[in-house]
Structure 1
């Protein structure tokens, strides 16, 4: 099976999904197309041809694909297009997320040929209570690059994508129930805020605005904490007891889990 190009596709507010997806792509030594970044709202739709290999990466939310990522993936279609599927989770558990992403990709016209669950710094990680801080790290990047090299070698062994076996990944169906979301949002420390409005620019759901101060709507916020992690002045903070809970219960390092058509 001949692949002419690689198409990275990701939803990645804090850049962890993007980092793994692009690393996998770079390890294949094939032309890499401009990334399709679903992090920000867009009306653009695209269908990827069957001679392109898509690499689709999304974060998890409580063991499921992040709802906003799932919604925006609907704009990308495949035409019996091979795909590597990737989920990033914050060192707790990815539960049904990879299975959900596999099934979603199939519904959108892709043929999943490999998958991976990688670890990224948890959105709620703080200096006081770090959870998977700094990940994906050097080891994760090396694993992702080797994964890409191995998968492209495997793909060349097949001649007809329609005859490929179903990719088997971890997860349960019916999926874990999505619990009702609890409205919450980061707050602004006024004395640190310069009102540079960078947080407004990078918010994936466009819920941050400048009134007399920088504010965001807890009913709309997806708690990705991109504004917290990227504020140049440390003026955005998200206070949640879950930060300490994660630190105490999920501090042991977890490693990426990889799946392909041979296992």
Structure 2
């Protein structure tokens, strides 16, 4: 099979997953690259149909050790026919638990052939200057490894151009999957007077949880605590207020200081 098109699918509220996938794609150096960003709600309105000569590169952040529940319905619409696939999860230096196995299982059920997978580290969504957690990850070393990973996968396909189910990777994990998929319903975002209601936060929210007319109004039931609105606020008007999310940030900062390294599976 002459694979020409790499379809890159990312759910990446704060950009860390996207950065890793772009580095992998750069190493793979496909004839044609199609980027599909499913981070915003409208971008998840159309299913993805994969051709027989496509390659799929898909990446998601780890939420409580699992694939983010919010993209579950879209993932179920993905349709492929033995499409070689690279699965990637990005986690905030704690653990990725069963997320990589879960992502692999989901896409196998949709007709994909996961031939490679990786668990990379990205700055945790709760990370801040006060409580840094994997700050500035992925770093240059992470991105260089991701690029090398892409080159090796391409070499693998050149050597074995017609993968089948015997080529499927087996990442670590348990079934039933561990971790929690239920969203936190918590009021945790403080908005300071520096907010000028520019609506940047509303436009980037992956669940449309922020009122587009008044960005101080947040639907806590929709919020997935990705903190994209905090990290990308142009006036730095948003922060994590005292409470359970702030407490979790403190625990992560204290207990997971030692830098984890990416894990790759071929």
- TM-score tier after normalising by the smaller chain length: over 0.9
- Residue 264 (structure 2) pairs with residue 252 (structure 1): no
Is 53-62 or 21-30 further displaced after alignment?
21-30
Are 1:209 and 1:215, in contact at CA under 8 Å, matched by a contact in 2? yes
Post-superposition shift, 1:212?
A: 5.8
Give the equivalent residue in structure 1 for 2:168.
166
What is the 5 A alignment of 1:13-92? 13-42=13-42, 43-92=45-94
1:34-93 C-alpha deviation (Å, 9 max, x unpaired): 311110123212211121111000011111111113333223221210000000000000
Are 1:187 and 1:215, in contact at CA under 8 Å, matched by a contact in 2? no
Q: How far apart, CA to CA, are the structure 1 residues paired with 2:201 and 2:78?
A: 27
Cα 1:202/1:120, change in 2 over 3 Å: same
Q: How far apart, CA to CA, are the structure 2 residues paired with 1:114 and 1:259?
A: 5
Give the equivalent residue in structure 2 for 1:117.
119
1:171-208 C-alpha deviation (Å, 9 max, x unpaired): 11111042644312443434110111110101110010
Post-superposition shift, 1:16?
A: 0.9
Is 28-37 or 207-216 further displaced after alignment?
207-216
Q: How far apart, CA to CA, are the structure 2 residues paired with 1:210 and 1:188?
A: 17
Q: How far apart, CA to CA, are the structure 2 residues paired with 1:92 and 1:29?
A: 31
**Gaps in structure 1 of 5+ consecutive residues:** none
Are 1:90 and 1:122, in contact at CA under 8 Å, matched by a contact in 2? yes
What is the 5 A alignment of 1:68-217? 68-162=70-164, 164-178=166-180, 180-209=182-211, 214-217=216-219
Q: How far apart, CA to CA, are the structure 2 residues paired with 1:203 and 1:72?
A: 17
Are 2:202 and 2:211, in contact at CA under 8 Å, matched by a contact in 1? yes
Q: How far apart, CA to CA, are the structure 2 residues paired with 1:81 and 1:173?
A: 24
Matched length:
260
**Gaps in structure 2 of 5+ consecutive residues:** none
CA RMSD of aligned residues (A): 1.6
Q: How far apart, CA to CA, are the structure 2 residues paired with 1:143 and 1:159?
A: 23
Q: How far apart, CA to CA, are the structure 2 residues paired with 1:167 and 1:213?
A: 44
Are 1:186 and 1:238, in contact at CA under 8 Å, matched by a contact in 2? yes
Cα 1:196/1:255, change in 2 over 3 Å: same
